[in-house]
Amino acid sequence: MFRIDDAVDTPPYQQICDQVSAGIDSGELAAGTRLPSVRALAAELHVAPGTVAKAYTQLEQAGLIETAGRSGTRVAATGGPVALAAEAAAAFADRVRPLGLDDEQLVKLVRAALTP
């Protein structure tokens, strides 16, 4: 399921984070999917358990996974960053529709907000 590529400069914990996030975004890892334990994944990938623990901690802080003691680590119900962004976009649309602006104006406003 997951793999570490030693030929790239990306640290192993970040590779794990990236692969879990990509799996969530693609739907391969659906909400509630149980992830391997820290020790099991570390053994599978031939990395230190601390490497997997660091990845899981970052993924949990990002709201992508949830750890519930003996119940294990699972993909969070939020479904990841794409789902969170879609929820935010829907909330934005609901809030601004009553203002009477057309879709093109709203898209321009969003683009402007995204420009640093």
pLDDT single digits (tens) 1-11? 899 999 999 99
pLDDT band at 82 (very low <50, low <70, confident <90, very high): low
Q: Is 99 helix (H, G, I), strand (E, B) or coil?
A: helix
Beta-carbon neighbour count of residue 46 at 10 Å? 9
| pLDDT attached to residue 112 | 93
pLDDT single digits (tens) 10-64? 999 999 999 999 998 888 988 889 999 999 999 999 999 999 999 999 999 988 8
pLDDT band at 93 (very low <50, low <70, confident <90, very high): confident
Domains and CATH numbers, the chain: 12-75 (1.10.10.10), 81-114 (no CATH)
